[in-house]
Amino acid sequence: MLPATERLDVLDIERLLRQKAYFVLHAPRQTGKTTAMLELARRLTASGKFISVLVSMEVGAGFPDNVGLAENAVLSSWRQSIRFQLPKELHPSQWKTSAPEGQRIADFLTEWSLEAQRPLVIFIDEIDALQDNVLISVLRQLRAGFPQRPTAFPSSVALIGLRDVRDYKVKSGGSPYLNTPSPFNIAVRSFTLRNFTGEEIRTLLAQHTAETGQPFTEAAQERIVDLTLGQPWLVNALAKVCVEELVEDLTMPIEVDHVNEAKERLIQRRLTHLDQLTDKLREERVRHVIEPILAGQVLDAIPLDDRDYVTDLGLVRRLQVGGLA
């Protein structure tokens, strides 16, 4: 395994934490965002300078039209995360909030900040699981509490998801977009989590060889790099099929043909991660980007927001010379 934090701009993030800044981390699914930020939270708490925890908004998705129920579900989930990640002496003394609907997230964070022995650094995962009024409510609560940091609100907050939440245009009723500025315009920086480099892929495969004695041929390694472009889930999935299904004899090397067969098996199995991406291809705004690329046409007429959306999903990548592929 490679430490997920190596693919983060950790030095820049630590600088922002010293500045009490709020920021965003966005990257496609299954790239290691949660793992990286969980490890960073542990590191920050262990430093003795902060109390840091990774919490999630995912359970709030079950209540898309009810802010109060979503808040209650989210806070219940947060309690479990805090209890698991932090020693008891760093827990908040009060787990419940009597605040009215639409203020419960902020109230919980305020009360904890006021009593905390160190500045709070909160990493909020799965922010884009929330929709419409629930999402707007949470973002506005964070924005409203921002001026009170670090005494009465977290010193730093990071929102983690598929997209840059600063650019969200939240759909509402019959109107295409809410006529309101971004509810999270307090974020000063947006980070992403890069894919593995070719060298990192080779390092991962070499770890398997060191542990088992089974090598990947140079050609097989290059094929994995070419097929995955370093997408972490794909790298691990291809290698797993190769070593656990196709070549169980550890004295035999993994060849290019094995990698190609592993690719076909992953496609045929329609695993959840790949199925989700397939479903996205049916969206009109995705097709408007993908179809011109496949036809070799320019994307000048395609809205930038649509191009960013498809890139954030991991369906296309930005080229160093400009454009998408």
Q: Which of 273, 295, 312 is the last residue of a domain?
A: 273
pLDDT digits (tens, 9 = 90+) for 217-272: 999 999 999 999 899 999 999 999 999 999 999 999 999 999 999 999 998 987 77
CA atoms within 13 A on the CB side of 293: 17
Report the mean per-residue pLDDT for the chain: 89
- Of the candidate ranges 68-72, 198-202, 281-285, the one whose mean pLDDT is the lowest: 281-285
Q: How many beta carbons lie within 10 A of that of residue 305, not counting itself?
A: 12
Residue 280 lies in a domain: no
Calculate mean pLDDT across residues 175-182. Answer: 42
Residues 84 and 147 in one domain: yes
Please give the residue range of the domain that contains residue 251: 198-273
pLDDT digits (tens, 9 = 90+) for 74-89: 999 999 999 999 999 9
Residues 6+ apart with CB under 8 A from 321: none
CA dist., res. 57 & res. 71, Å (int): 9
pLDDT at 174 exceeding the cut of 90: no
What percentage of the chain exceeds 70 in pLDDT? Answer: 93
Residues 55 and 156 in one domain: yes
Q: Which of 192, 210, 229 is the last residue of a domain?
A: 192
Query: Which residue, 66, 61, 157, is CA-closest to 108?
Result: 157
CA dist., res. 34 & res. 193, Å (int): 10
Any idea of the CA torsion for 165, 166, 167, 170, to the nearest 10 degrees?
Answer: 60
pTM of the model: 0.85
- Of the candidate ranges 181-185, 264-268, 275-279, 292-296, the one whose mean pLDDT is the lowest: 181-185
Contact 219, 47 (CB under 8 A): no
Residues 312 and 262 in one domain: no
pLDDT digits (tens, 9 = 90+) for 53-70: 999 999 999 999 899 999
- Residues 180, 183, 187, 189, CA torsion sign: negative
